[in-house]
Amino acid sequence: MKIEQIYTGCLAQGAYYICSNGEAAIIDPLRETQPYLDRLKADNVKLKYIFETHFHADFVSGHIDLSKKTGAAIVYGPNAVCDFESITANDGQEFKIGNITIKVLHTPGHTLESSTYLLIDENGKDHCIFSGDTLFLGDVGRPDLAQKSAGITKEDLAGMLYESLMNKIMPLADDVIVYPAHGAGSACGKNMMKETVDTLGNQKKINYALNQPNKESFIKEVTKDLLPPPGYFGMNVAMNKSGYKSFDEILNNGMRSLEANEFELLAEQNHALILDTRNASDFAQAYIPQSVNIGINGDFAPWVGTLIVDVNTAILLITEEGKEQETVTRLARVGFDHQLGHLKGGIKKWIDEGKEVDKVNRISPEQFAQTVELGKDKILDIRKETEYNASHVKEAINQPLAYINDWIKNINPKEHFYIHCQGGYRSMIAASILQSRGYRNFSEVSGGFAEISKTNIPVSDFVCQSKTVS
């Protein structure tokens, strides 16, 4: 028996590859199938089943393409209704893979169809669970992401989740290994650990959700302090339920290398978003007007989904040389399939052809410290509220990047302001969005709060409520 966790850091997502005696199963695969096909070939095994723990919201799964390429059956738990051929398993149903068994444990709560898969080894012993978004390490799945049914609330789903955990998961032996679908950084939970594998016994001891005194307390704890889910989540659920274009087609389109004139024409004809994935410092110096910068070397896909939202948006790419395929792939993982191609030769070729460029007024932390007048100048701290509450520049206003589409309209374009995040990644995203919408009277601070805090600028270390830009 072989179990491999295939962890993708930018999505904080774990897929699983399992094989035994010539047969294999894959749980919650990502969009691109080639890595799985390579493993199957290397191990000389046949893929028998593709198990999905639920209809994912934060990424588009590779189940449909993988099934077409291998003939493997797609398996969901009870209550799952798909627009493609699949097996809707019963609670307790068992599936054989070589000498091992996968048993379906229906564990609704995160979603109605959510299921945990119990692996029983060659000796008939419970070995591990693939818990999906039912049980995370340090947390449980948030109960507010499911598509709303008539009369179903997050409290109702939290109650179902409690029953699932108490009746299906907690009775299992302490030495059972827990393989979750996500880790720290995912928006599918709020308190996940950075570790990606643990024993159930340890989770019984340390997981706050598993240590509530009763159902009412559990519901209260797991439903509080939930941030609004990213806007693209519902679209990804729909794609996972109804189907999508082949990843090979998306890759072929995104890898189209476009000359500058063709790139410019396509942008105009398709009202396309120009997405520049270079690092913040390079973008600040020269970029194509109206571009939005979301650097590939960061939490790229989640920020694309959060800020662009509509997966049907036509996208043209500016990338660092050699990063084209990675960029196309990471966009496809979160359902942004309408990719038209990338600029051949990148920004250098654009400049060489005499095309117009723009830049961002980026200043150093030292310049910020020398020029800012606290109490007079407006400072926007676009980090998360928890980061801001831990410590921030005195008089700074907290306006998290995730909500820029809400607070941007309250900015006075005639009033100069400063903007920063923790390290400069998010503030350049914000700067690009601001300038694409006509707001130019600001200075973006490189290095963010991490570097600002090293200057003589006074900072606060107590909780301060967010203010509103006016």
Question: CATH code for 245-352?
Answer: 3.40.250.10
What is residue 4's predicted lDDT score, i.e. its pLDDT?
97
What's the token pair of residue 389? 């509450």
What is residue 40's predicted lDDT score, i.e. its pLDDT?
98
Query: Would you say domain 2-234 falls under CATH 3.40.718.10?
Result: no
Section 223-238 average pLDDT:
89
pLDDT of 469 strictly over 50: no
What is residue 468's predicted lDDT score, i.e. its pLDDT?
40
Helices marked H in 192-259 — which ranges?
200-206, 215-223, 233-242, 247-254
Location of structure tokens 């709560």: 109
Question: Could you tell me if 66 and 77 are in contact, meaning their C-beta atoms sit under 8 angstroms apart?
Answer: no
pLDDT in tens, 84-95: 999 999 999 999
pLDDT in tens, 149-179: 657 899 999 999 999 999 999 999 999 999 9
Task: Cite the residue boundaries of each domain of the chain with CATH code 3.60.15.10.
Answer: 2-234
pLDDT in tens, 264-322: 999 999 999 999 999 999 999 999 999 999 999 988 999 999 999 899 999 999 999 99
Please give, one letter per residue, the 3-state secondary structure of the chain.
CEEEEEEEHHHCEEEEEEEECCEEEEECCCCCCHHHHHHHHHHCCEEEEEECCCCCCCCCCCHHHHHHHHCCEEEECCCCCCCCCCEECCCCCEEEECCEEEEEEECCCCCCCCEEEEEECCCCCEEEEEEECCECCCCECCCCCCCCCCCCCHHHHHHHHHHHHHHHHCCCCCCCEEEECECCCCCCCCCCCCCCCEEHHHHHHHCHHHHCCCHHHHHHHHHCCCCCCCCCHHHHHHHHHHCCCCHHHHHHHHCCEECHHHHHHHHHHCCCEEEECCCHHHHHHCECCCCEECCCCCCHHHHHHHHHCCCCCCEEEECCCCCHHHHHHHHHHCCCCCEEEEECCHHHHHHHCCCCCECCCEECHHHHHHHCCCCCCEEEECCCHHHHHHCEECCCEECCHHHHHHHHHHCCCCCCEEEECCCCHHHHHHHHHHHHCCCCCEEEECCHHHHHCCCCCCEECCCCCCCCCC
User: Which DSSP helix (H) or strand (E) runs through 162?
Assistant: helix 154-164
CATH architecture of 362-460: 3-Layer(aba) Sandwich (3.40)
What is the spatial distance between Cα 300 and Cα 287, in angstroms, rounded to a whole number?
A: 18
What is residue 148's predicted lDDT score, i.e. its pLDDT?
63
pLDDT in tens, 421-453: 999 999 999 999 999 999 999 999 999 999 999
Residue 398 CB: number of other CB atoms within 10 A? 19
Amino acid at 135: L
Mean pLDDT estimate for the chain? 94
What is residue 470's predicted lDDT score, i.e. its pLDDT?
37
- pTM of the model as a whole: 0.91
pLDDT of 464 strictly over 50: no
What is the spatial distance between Cα 438 and Cα 435, in angstroms, rounded to a whole number?
A: 5
Task: Cite the residue boundaries of each domain of the chain with CATH code 3.40.250.10.
Answer: 245-352, 362-460
Sign of CA dihedral 116, 121, 123, 127: negative
pLDDT of 145 strictly over 90: no
pLDDT in tens, 181-213: 999 888 888 889 999 999 999 999 999 999 999
